[in-house]
A and B are shown apart, each in its own frame.
Chain A
Amino acid sequence: MENIRNFSIIAHVDHGKSTLADRILDICGAITAREKKDQLLDNMELERERGITIKAQTVRLNYTAEDGKEYIFNLIDTPGHVDFSYEVSRSLKACEGVLLLIDASQGIEAQTLANLHLATEHNLTVIPVINKIDLPNADLDMVKHQLEDILCIDAEEAILTSGKSGIGVKDLLEAVVKRIPPPKGDPAGPLKALVLDSWYDSYRGVVVLARIFEGTLTPAMKIRFMGTGTEYPMTQMGIFAPFAREVKSAGPGEVIFLNASIKTVADTKVGDTVTDAANPAPAPLEGFKEARPMVFSGLYPVEGDKYGALREALEKLHLNDASFEFLPETSAALGFGFRCGFLGLLHMEIIQERLEREFNMNLITTSPTVSYRLTVMPGDVRIIDNPNSLPEHYEMIEEPVIRATIFTPDEYLGPIFALIEEKRGVQEKLEYIGVKRVMVVALLPLNEVVLDFFDKLKTATKGYASVDYENHGYQPAQLVKMDILVNGDPIDALGFIVHKDKAYNFGRDIVSKMRELIPRQMFDVAIQAAIGSRVISRETVKALRKNVLAKCYGGDITRKRKLLEKQKEGKKRMKQIGNVEIPQSAFLAVLKR
């Protein structure tokens, strides 16, 4: 146990975490060249493509230190995106220390700070690492200043590395040995292991990743999940080094995977404590706060007959990612689909992309919304995540708020202030963190953020700003439900909740877009945006003056028939709202905004 070191690398996205991890694996001789894939820890195709880590991975390494002793390193990977901060927190539970990675040319970014906060919350030893020092625009002085001024870390402690060339990585590993404390725990005590993650593997079934804090786990045990109370006989246990390898026992400080005859991932709750059914621990370990979906949207198959296939695909994805929710939903405009809850926008995009890529689904996604807290009357408080379930009368509606921390070059302060204002935000704090770099902290309504805040921030700052956010509860707001109606019938898929002051512009934009997209019918079609019975915007699609093919060419009737078939096909892709036929493309265009 004295020789075990459990640690994570935490970093802002793109600061070189995966490359450094690869280098560490190299030095520890974990993989042969034949096995090597670049950035080994990012497994999923999508992760590789986007260069981000979504699901935490873990790897056990053997390192022979300068003192001649052999050490066991458990390198526990963490996701790099704000949507998955709960997963970062989960990984940190298994560690005694972290490597806080900072890009030598970029300096401290929003997530550097957020991650450091998480690490200190968990009382972990922090080793600051300034990475990419061989970049031509590396600015060590700047980063060292930032370390001391913003993070209150002694710059002398920083290890200078280049994951790419391997400079300093050996020093780093020595620092891991010397600075990070070994785990504690009694190998003879009753078993306490924390469930870090679980997923479904088509070969092994449900795989549980756990960190042992007390006692010893063996494959002969019957285990009990203390939270759910369920018990399972063990079938197998092992480590990832980095490929799965069976082991016969494991004690405190070790990170292992286990298989028991568990049917579905849903039976294993992340944060639960595993104990020995025959000799249970008196109390479980402290778990995690459960990750709650923050962003909601409807997912509909473009082809109505793919509903069953979509359900199967969602169920499969859910096996490995219990953090998103889905419930059946019906829309007059879009047919049968699901209302899904996600941790954030990126999470939503990832699920959508996986559905499209791995399951060949062709999807329509309704505009993302957030969950509102509604006081219908004193004592009747509800959370609603679908604009259409807003009742007509209620006492108060509150919207979720986030605290966003933005790091930016100061030249973009103007546009950022304008954006915060536009998004109904309130600036909390502004602090210079270098000569030309500023940290801005602001409270922002989440429903403004989910729409396009990140895109707009990127545009406003030419991509130079970084942002991180945390939830900041609910606040009352002047929100209204806006309906879009065609010839008096509301289109459920286009109903949304919006701030009173923005309702007019929103409504007008959607109405004019719909006008462009709805083909002329045999009669006038009125498109309206309305709040309750008050119409705030209206446009008309004038009736088609005629619909008749001018020329029927000679004897070739097939031409005419083909045209007819085409019109028929076109009709099939139309959705009937009242007596108006609306092409699906119209919904798509409006929803894509």
Chain B
Amino acid sequence: MPEKASIYLHIPFCRSKCAYCDFPSFAGIEELMEPYTAALAREIDAAAKLQAPTVYIGGGTPSYLPAPLMEALLKKVIGHFYLEEQVEFTIEANPGTASESNFRLWRRNRVNRLSIGVQSFNGRLLKNIGRGHNAADARNTIAAARAAGFDNLSIDLIYGLPGQTLSDLKEDMRTLLGLWPEHASVYQLILEEGTPLEKMVDKGEVSLPDDDETFEMGEAATGALAEAGYGHYEISNYALPGRECRHNTAYWLGKPFLGLGSGAHSFINGRRLANPENVQEYIQLMESKGSASTEIVTDEKARTIDYLLMRLRLINKEISFKEVGDTLSVDFKGHFNIPLTKLQAGGYITLTDSSFRLSNKGIRYLDNIILELSKV
């Protein structure tokens, strides 16, 4: 019986780098696409032949990879790992980077879910953040995906964008709901250190909506999605019943996963491994050593916190002490008794003898809860 783990593959290439992005993705290194996919193929070959309940190709912009390279990669994945029959196989696609024929090719190779990085349907806002597409591209790409037969689509939106108002966000939500995606991820913009957007904000070239307005946007998004029947199952994720993203849920539940490609992380047999973010370094390591990963050594305390900060993101799923105990081999209730009692008193969680769950207030202040728990 092969070992079971989700598979993540990273494609670090983008047509252009978005102003807010600090992920390991790069524009202008297209010449590395071939050697990179070759290196990735090598890493797949060297990996254990795992049983995969989910596969996820993320980036970067996977859809920016030329069709022949993607086809070869997909075939490699299918050929190497044991994909479960009900596998959830997702590729991230950005509007304007893939056509219906691409989608058909992917579908023929067991891909059954797309996550489309729309971010906004408002051309003015997209321009503000340096996105290389417009609202029409987004609609066309979604239409092409449907035409190619995809019946499991997720749309990504960001709110709190520079220049965005509450009514802009509401308009975006209306457009999204009109497209009936099975799943939606609605993220609040994070102004990351060292990004071009941070500089633009510092210089006063653009301004972000204030905390209160941004908060209202989040509430409006959740409200609109709830009304349309989407369940709010993770801080930033919503799905029609049964369409929750199984791959990401595996991360949040602390299940094992194998990450391949530059910047990818793995969590296998309780060990955390990371590949270098630098694409050339990754290729070189794969060519010279046949392996690129290094272990991130963690102590028990860090493992506990890691688990909690992932697990608590599944905001509606009650956490049983038995579940935590089995995963971490700690007496959770005993160990965290003081902060749990304090959080209960503060109205952040509801506590029973065998479990606890986040309150509505707790969902809003999740970081404070984790800080409180990590004091122990």
Contacts and interface: CB of A to CB of B under 8 A. Distances in A.
Interface of A: 520, 522, 542, 544-558, 560-561, 564, 567-568, 571
Contacts of A561: 302, 305-306, 309
15 contacts: A542-B212, A544-B211, A547-B367, A548-B235, A552-B313, A554-B8, A554-B58, A554-B251, A555-B8, A555-B259, A557-B309, A558-B265, A561-B302, A564-B374, A571-B371
Nearest to B252: A552
A550 B8 contact: no
Contacts of A556: 263, 265, 274
Given A522-B368, A555-B264, A571-B371, A546 B215 contact: yes
Contact of B364 (A520, A545, A550): A545
A171 B145 CA distance: 101
B371 A568 contact: yes
Given A547-B367, A561-B305, 18 more contacts: A544-B211, A544-B365, A545-B215, A549-B366, A550-B189, A551-B187, A552-B251, A552-B252, A552-B309, A553-B23, A555-B257, A555-B266, A556-B263, A556-B265, A557-B310, A561-B309, A567-B371, A568-B371
A337 B364 CA distance: 39
A568 B373 CA distance: 12
A300 to B, nearest CB: 25
A45 B235 CA distance: 58
Contacts of A520: 211
Interface in B347-376: 363-368, 370-371, 374
Contacts of B368: 522, 547
Top 5 A-B residue pairs of the complex, sorted by shortest distance between their CB atoms: A545-B215, A546-B364, A550-B188, A555-B265, A548-B366
B364 A554 contact: no
Interface string B242-278: 0000000001100001010001111100001010000
A544 B284 CA distance: 47
Contacts of A550: 187-190, 235-236
Interface in B33-56: none
Nearest to A570: B371
Given A547-B365, A547-B367, A552 B190 contact: no
B210 to A, nearest CB: 10
A515 to B, nearest CB: 14
B305 A564 contact: yes
B29 interface: no
A581 to B, nearest CB: 11
Contacts of B188: 550
Interface residues of B, number: 40
B58 A546 contact: no
A520 B264 CA distance: 35
Contacts of A546: 215, 218, 364-365
Contacts of A564: 305, 309, 367, 370-371, 374
Interface in B81-121: none
Contacts of B363: 548
A548 B211 contact: no
B296 interface: yes
A554 B58 CA distance: 9
Contacts of B305: 561, 564
A298 to B, nearest CB: 30
B367 A549 contact: yes
A554 B309 contact: no
Contacts of A554: 8, 58, 251, 259, 264-265
Contacts of A551: 187, 190, 236
A546 B264 CA distance: 30
B296 A558 contact: yes
Name the residue among B257, B370, B374 with the largest chain A CB count within 10 angstroms. B370
B372 to A, nearest CB: 11
Contacts of A560: 309-310
Name the residue among B23, B252, B257 with the largest chain A CB count within 10 angstroms. B23
A401 B8 CA distance: 76
Contacts of A552: 235, 251-252, 309-310, 313
Given A522-B365, A551-B187, A557 B272 contact: yes
B218 A549 contact: no
Interface string B215-252: 10010000000000000000110000000000000011
A579 to B, nearest CB: 11
A200 to B, nearest CB: 46
